[in-house]
Structure 1
Amino acid sequence: MADLVTTPDTEHPGLLGLLPRRLRGFALLARFDRPVGWWLLFWPGAWAVALAGGAFTHWPLLVWLLIGSIAMRGAGCVYNDIVDRDLDAQVVRTRTRPIPSGLVSVRAAWVWLAALCLVGLIVLVQLRPLAAGVAVASLAPVAAYPFMKRITWWPQAWLGIVFSWAALVGWVEVTGGFGIALLLLYAGAIAWVVGYDTIYALQDREDDALIGVRSSALRLGRHVRAGVVLFYGLAVALWALAIWQVRADPLAPVALLPAAWHLAWQALTLKPDDGGGALHRFRANRFTGLLVFLACVVVGT
């Protein structure tokens, strides 16, 4: 763990390294240097659109969901960093973030947050009223999320509620309502988020324990791998049930086998004390999301 917790949380790869220092601070604040977050927020919405039968007929919706994911994930990161600025200053991995390092002021961060939310508003007006209402309803759990790590050992479950919300929006936009398949898909996405964010939380176990921040990685202790196996297994089971609701064919859930294999690889080879390996497995969930999307496309069309 020692080599991981000393790795800065902000890096300047690629084009971000060419930006002026001030602009780079805003880009880093919205995590534009870490696109994995966009994909993890986007995929549940894409799954819902595909499973509802809209992968091809509603392809512009997928584009809008991606744009919204980039903007609102950035806004969420900015808000999280504003709330957590004191905690971030105490953790080696996060003390170099723009706000605790002084690169971006709190006032400027609020302005940047408002600008990103305006982009989200542009996406919002593309939706039908019911789907737009569902999207707006996400603001409450999003606002509460940064405080969860202070009051519960399972902030990852709350993150699952937030990061899976696009599934509700995508399904309602395509079908005009809710359904059992959607609820199962959404519940499976939450279990998936708990699994991969537990892996991510392994980075900060030592610092979190010192400053009193709670996480599923700390709660599970030496049973982290078993916990991730449990949550990933639950996710696959719920996704299979969602697929069965759409197509009651014994072969339909087979479409999930590649995603199930990929999650099994993550969980069964996870070494909690291997920080680099844990981070690699967390990032691999971009590919997991793609595999589940392809399964939903096959079944939904």
Structure 2
Amino acid sequence: MMTLSRPDLSDIRRGDWVDRRLPTAWRPYTRLARLDRPVGIWLTLFPCWAALIQASHGFPDLRQLIVFSLGALLMRSAGATVNDIADRNFDGHVERTRFRPLASGQIDIPHAFVFLAVQLALAASLLLFLSPYTRLIAIGVLPLVFVYPLCKRFTHWPQAVLGAAFNWGMLMAWAEVVGHIPAGAVLMWTGAIAWQIGYDTVYAYVDVEDDSRLGLKSTAILFGQRGKTCIGLFYALAVGAWSLGGWLLGMSLPYAIGMLVIAVHLAWQTWRIDLARPEVNFRLFMANILTGVLLAGAAFVGAW
């Protein structure tokens, strides 16, 4: 009788550009920073760019755009390093993460901490280009960055903490451009958190069997077979918060059209979710790069 093989869910792809083009010593650090898997970078960048566009009422200042883009890259990479340090004893037992550098022994803990210190130092250097108020807001994200990797041990809502940290740049953008954070900007940030709870729950269903076996917690485990409904509700909350936030920020009619397109896209994602097929859920998680593009695009046309 023919049996179906289990799909390869590992997030490390052997023979990719890291293996082909980088020196051997650089490869584990590149993977530790997730530079070989840039989806998280894009999911951090697009909401941040949307906030910069809205706060600037159009084209952001080039210097601000560069600083915030580099900051998103560095802090996402630093967050990935913190996460892998905290999860090193779990990752080796999870199909998706078992080949990560710390879990597989390619990097030891002292070297990982040195690498983290370099990442944080580079990120901190960018604060020199920002206002004192924005620096103060930026410091506020650090507890979230360091607490998130531990959340899965004591709460089913690590995705909410990750969403708050991932999208912190949206608040910083308003602080830097206009010197304060209006209610509409807070709603945009809240919508991004709801969106991230949705798409990161889709991602968590890839690991749900391994996480349950290891005694870890996630929204996927909490929602169980109600996952599609719960994810759809969080996507709806995201669109609602973005719509109201955009209205409070004075976005024009084309922004509303952009919200409608996002709503249709997220509804399609929710319809396609299959809780029993991790490979489908992973592809739907990746599809949220397009959601980020649409959000930034809606902000641009709405600001003009």
TM-score norm. by structure 1 comes to 0.95
Q: Which residue of 1 aligns with 2:24?
A: 21
Match of 1:7 in 2: 9
Give the whole-Å Cα distance in 2 for the aligned partners of 1:195 and 1:2.
29
1:299 aligned residue: 302
Asked if the contact 1:38–1:66 (Cα under 8 Å) also holds between the matched residues in 2, the reply is no
Letter in 1 for 2:245: A
User: Counterpart of 2:102 in 1: which secondary structure?
Assistant: helix
- CA change 1:2–1:75 in 2 (3 A) is farther
Which stretch shows the higher mean deviation, 24-33 or 116-125?
A: 116-125
Partners of 2:5 and 2:154 lie apart in 1 by 27
Asked if 1:154 is matched to 2:157, the reply is yes
Instruction: Give 1:116-195 correspondences, 5 Å limit.
Output: 116-195=119-198
Flag the 1:248–1:113 CA change in 2: closer, same or farther, 3 A.
Answer: closer
The answer as to whether partners of 2:254 and 2:298 remain within 8 angstroms in 1 is: no
Q: 1:257-268 alignment to 2 at 5 Å? A: 257-268=260-271
3-state SS of 1:10 partner: coil
Equivalent position of 2:240 in the other structure: 237
Between the two proteins, the alignment pairs up a number of residues equal to 300
Shift of 1:125: 1.5
Cα deviation digits, residues 156-181 of structure 1 (max 9, x gap) = 11111111111101111111101111
Measure the CA separation in 2 of the matches of 1:13 and 1:187. 39
Q: CA RMSD in A?
A: 1.7
Unpaired segments of 5 or more residues in structure 2? none
Q: Is the 8 A contact 1:98 1:104 kept in 2?
A: yes
Find runs of 4+ consecutive structure 1 residues off by over 4 angstroms: 248-252
Contact 2:255 2:299 survives alignment (8 Å) = no
Structure 1 residue aligned with 2:89, among 86, 90, 95? 86
Bigger drift between 39-48 and 10-19 goes to 10-19
Q: Distance in 2 between matches of 1:40 and 1:79?
A: 18
Corresponding residue for residue 220 of structure 1:
223
CA apart distance, 1:117: 1.3
Task: Sort the Cα spacing of 1:249 and 1:286 in 2 relative to 1 into closer, same or farther, 3 A.
Answer: closer
Please state how far the C-alpha of 1:251 moved relative to its aligned partner.
6.0
**253, 256, 260: which one aligns with 2:256:** 253
Cα shift readout 1:68-101 (whole Å, capped 9, x = no counterpart): 1111111111111111111112222212110121
Secondary structure in 2 matching 1:100: coil
Question: What residue number does 1:200 align with?
Answer: 203
Q: Are the aligned partners of 2:273 and 2:281 in contact in 1 as well (CA < 8 Å)?
A: yes
Equivalent residue, structure 1, for 2:46: 43
Offset at 1:63? 2.2
Q: Deviation at 1:9?
A: 2.6
1:228-259 deviations in Å (ceiling 9; x for gaps): 10000000000000111022766642231222
> Are residues 1:62 and 2:46 paired?
no
Q: What is aligned with 1:73?
A: 76
Report the more deviating stretch, 63-72 or 22-31. 63-72
Per-residue deviation, 1:57: 4.1
Contact 1:82/1:109 (CA < 8 Å) preserved in 2? yes
Q: Return the letter of the residue paired with 1:196.
A: Y
Q: 1:48 to 1:98 in 2, by over 3 A?
A: same
Query: Mean alpha-carbon deviation: is it higher for 13-22 or for 210-219?
Result: 13-22
1:211 aligns with 214
Identify the range of structure 1 (198-207 vs 110-119) with the bigger mean alpha-carbon deviation.
Answer: 110-119
Listed as ranges, the gaps of 5+ residues in structure 1 are: none
Instruction: Report the 3-state secondary structure (helix = DSSP H, G, I; strand = E; otherwise coil) of the residue aligned with 1:125.
Output: helix
